[in-house]
Amino acid sequence: MKLSKLVGERIKEVPNGASLKSHILLLRAGYIKQVSTGIFSLLPPAQKVNLKIQNIIRQEMDALGGQECLFPVVMPRELWEMSGRYSSISSELLRFKDRTGHDMVLGMTHEEAAVHMALNTVKSHEQLPFMIYQIQTKYRDEARPRGGLIRVREFTMKDAYSFHNTQEDLETYYKKVYDAYNRIYKRIGFKNFISVKSDTGMMGGKVADEFMAVTEVGEDKLVICPKCGYASNMEVSVSVKDENDHTVAGEMEEVFTGNAHTIEEVCSFLEIDVKHTAKAVCYQTSDGKLVVAFLRGDYEINESKLSKLVRSELEYVDVEERGLCAGNIGCVNLTLPEGSYVFYDQTLKGLENFVAGANKKDFHIKNISMTRDIPNAEFVDISMTKEGEKCTICGEPLTLTRGIEIGNIFQLGTKYTASMGMKINMPDGTAKEPIMGCYGIGVGRCLASIIEEKADDKGIVWPMTIAPWHVHFCPLRLDDENVSAVADELYKKMLDAGIEVLYDDRNLSAGIKLTDSELMGVPLRVVISPKTMAEAKAEVTIRATGEKIFIPIHDLISELKMMIKDEIEEIEKSARE
């Protein structure tokens, strides 16, 4: 490819509205262009990376015996009603009417379509297990698209669905897919990714793992045990909570706290430790029921866990409208409307001598005892894990980090096969619903996340296995006829040797050409100039390390082929380990 003809431009300025490294660099280096909020066109270099990532995924799915197929992007309402998801998924599922007035949806995942394909076409237990998968465009009507390709509305995804006769068979297969996922990320070039236990969310099912590119800019909070390897999305993480102070409480006492409403204000006003407080967090369910959750003042609420307890999304509630006293809500003398939920987090278990709101304007209560004053409280786990809390498995301190979700796998059970009436004839003559697993990878997320992991202050750094080109060929002083003749010849030789090369054939300054090459991130840069040619050499720079090697021009092609092969093999080898 000649750079003079490549569609796209390289720009110096940080584009408006972009803050994430991958977003900025993809825009600056001419890889993506925004068409609408959360909707991008991929320019030719990005599509090259996209296809290479897809190919790695395809190879690993095929190696598992996966059968590639293609489900529709546009599906009829009826299909999604069979599983119950037409109503259970909120506005992320894009619904519209076709020209005949028929209700349709845009696919954000394809469990229903997968079961539809297998329904009546797979009938015998002997055909199981099997896995069908596709690599395709999906649409999710995200409320808050952000970060370039990290959280988009339209994206390319590999989604796979496996069908099994028994739970044991699913678990065996699930482990194989898990291993294949690890190979996929390693082959893409990730060094810093982990898998964590995760929430099953709208998919249903009981067991789920997420694959996370570990990075401080990730949206997901992760809890890790450096000792035993426990790793979990914060949403479902567990930990041994801080021990509480069990010193027996004195008598309860109402105290004036005035404008002190937040936990920090109350602690400061009363000069007490935050560990001797209980705070209240309030929501309403989607059908309007009030939810009040109490937890120790130094903990944060885990909305994901609370949401599961009430089986509803959690919405903002105006507590004053419900007769509560905002800023002074407490667990003593609390009167709630009928049908409300109240929960006590485990961090409050056995707590003595603590302060909570008095349910009365400007007042809190001191010296509350959980055991004495709220003897019937039952405790649940609805608090976030804190850095340094103990691992429930090995007792070591946990650490927190963040990640970008680059894949997820689920043991779905029979949610979809049962609701859609798919049955398999078993050897004993009975008919049984197959047990399913499903497995997703976001291709664009991988593309952006690898930039987050590897980019430096000069630009993108692509691993050789997914780089748009292997070599960025940058002859300098193309106005010099010798340079230009040798450059054209070398370009041709590279192409003939099967080297994927981007040839910067523009007669521009060294500054522009070298800066462009660093920005674009091709793994090897080859420079020739009157100076290097005087020694019959070419300068090869390894983008990832900055290391420079001078290679005699007549050895250049074979040396480049070797370097490319070596780097690909090193990555492939690491994936097999």
Q: Which residues bind a second copy (CB under 8 A)?
A: 1, 4-9, 30, 33, 35-36, 39-44, 46-48, 50-51, 65, 67-76, 79, 91-92, 94, 96-99, 102, 104, 106, 113, 116-118, 120-123, 126-127, 130, 132, 134, 136-137, 139, 141, 143, 153-154, 156
Contacts of 524 (CB under 8 A, 6+ apart): 470, 471, 472, 540, 541, 542, 543, 560, 563, 564
At residue 491, φ and ψ (nearest 5 deg) are -60, -45
Q: Which is nearer to a second copy, 9 or 273 (CB)?
A: 9
Residues 155 and 109 sit within 8 Å (Cβ to Cβ)? no
Instruction: Name the minimum Å distance from CB 569 to a second copy.
Output: 21
Nearer to a second copy by Cβ, of 42 and 293: the residue is 42
Helix (H, G, I), strand (E, B) or coil at 342: strand
For a second copy, which is the closer residue by CB, 143 or 562? 143
- If the CB atoms of residues 7 and 534 are measured against a second copy, the closer one turns out to be 7
468 CB-side CA count, 13 A: 25
Q: Is 21 in a helix, a strand, or coil?
A: helix
User: Nearest approach, Cβ of 33 to a second copy (angstroms)?
Assistant: 6
* Cβ nearer to a second copy, comparing 73 with 255: 73
CB of 157 to a second copy, least distance (A): 13
Q: Min. distance of Cβ 486 from a second copy in angstroms?
A: 22
* E-state strands within 107-192: 130-139, 154-164
Residue 67 Cβ vs a second copy, minimum distance, rounded to whole Å: 4
Q: Are strands 253-256 and 278-284 parallel, antiparallel or unpaired?
A: unpaired
227 vs 397: CA distance, rounded Å:
9
Q: How far apart are CA 334 and CA 323, in angstroms?
A: 10
**Residue 4: which residues within 8 A CB-CB, separation 6 or more?**
505, 506
Q: Are 37 and 153 in contact (CB under 8 A)?
A: yes
Residue 170: CB minimum distance to a second copy, A:
16
User: Rg of the chain's alpha carbons, rounded to an integer?
Assistant: 29
- Nearer Cβ to a second copy, position 103 or 245? 103
E strands, 289-375, where?
Answer: 290-296, 341-345, 354-360, 363-368
Return the number of the residue (30 or 357) whose C-beta is nearest a second copy. 30
Q: Which is nearer to a second copy, 30 or 148 (CB)?
A: 30
CB of 500 to a second copy, least distance (A): 12
Minimal distance in Å, beta carbon 35 to a second copy? 5
